[in-house]
C-alpha cells in the first residue's frame, strides 16, 4: 500500500510540475509559448533539487543507513506536501501561495531523492 501511494504522489507531482508552475506563477502571461517556456524553465530549476537529493543520498547512505535514510526522506516528503496543503489557506495567486508551492516542490524533490527514490535500489 505504501508503495502504491508513493508512486501516485511521485508521478502526480513529477508529471504536473510544469503545468502547476505555469498556472500559479505565469497565469498573467498571455503568450502561450512564452508561458510554457517559462514553466519549463521553472520546472528545470525545481528539478535541480532532484540532483541535490541524489548527491545527499550518496554522501549520507553509509553514515545514516539505508532504512533510516528512507524514513527521513518520507518524513521530508510529508513536510513538503504539508507546505502544499498550507498554501491552500492563502489567497489564490498571492506571492505567499506561490512561494509555498515552490518551497513544496523544492523540499519534496530534495527529500524524495535523498531518501526513498535513491535508496530503493540499495536495500
**pLDDT score of 9:** 84
Q: How confident is the model at residue 123 (pLDDT cuts 50, 70, 90)?
A: low
Q: Which three cell numbers stand for residue 114?
A: 535523498
How do residues 42-88 score in pLDDT, each as one tens digit?
Answer: 888 888 999 999 999 999 999 999 999 999 999 999 998 898 899 88
Residue 45 · residue 109 · CB < 8 Å: no
How do residues 97-106 score in pLDDT, each as one tens digit?
Answer: 888 888 988 9
Q: Domains of the chain: which residue ranges?
A: 2-122
What's the CA gap between 98 and 120, in Å, rounded? 32
What's the CA gap between 34 and 90, in Å, rounded? 27
Residue 80 · residue 104 · CB < 8 Å: yes
Rg for the chain, CA atoms, rounded: 15
**pLDDT score of 7:** 84
Amino acid at each position: 500500500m505504501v508503495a502504491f501511494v508513493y508512486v501516485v504522489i511521485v508521478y502526480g507531482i513529477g508529471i504536473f510540475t510544469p503545468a502547476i508552475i505555469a498556472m500559479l506563477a505565469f497565469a498573467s502571461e498571455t503568450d502561450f509559448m512564452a508561458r510554457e517556456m517559462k514553466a519549463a524553465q521553472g520546472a528545470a530549476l525545481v528539478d535541480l533539487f532532484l540532483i541535490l537529493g541524489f548527491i545527499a543520498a550518496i554522501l549520507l547512505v553509509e553514515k545514516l543507513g539505508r532504512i533510516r535514510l528512507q524514513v527521513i526522506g518520507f518524513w521530508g516528503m510529508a513536510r513538503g506536501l504539508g507546505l502544499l496543503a498550507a498554501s491552500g489557506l492563502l489567497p489564490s495567486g498571492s506571492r505567499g501561495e506561490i512561494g509555498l508551492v515552490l518551497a513544496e516542490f523544492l523540499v519534496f524533490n530534495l527529500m524524495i531523492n535523498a531518501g526513498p527514490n535513491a535508496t530503493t535500489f540499495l536495500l
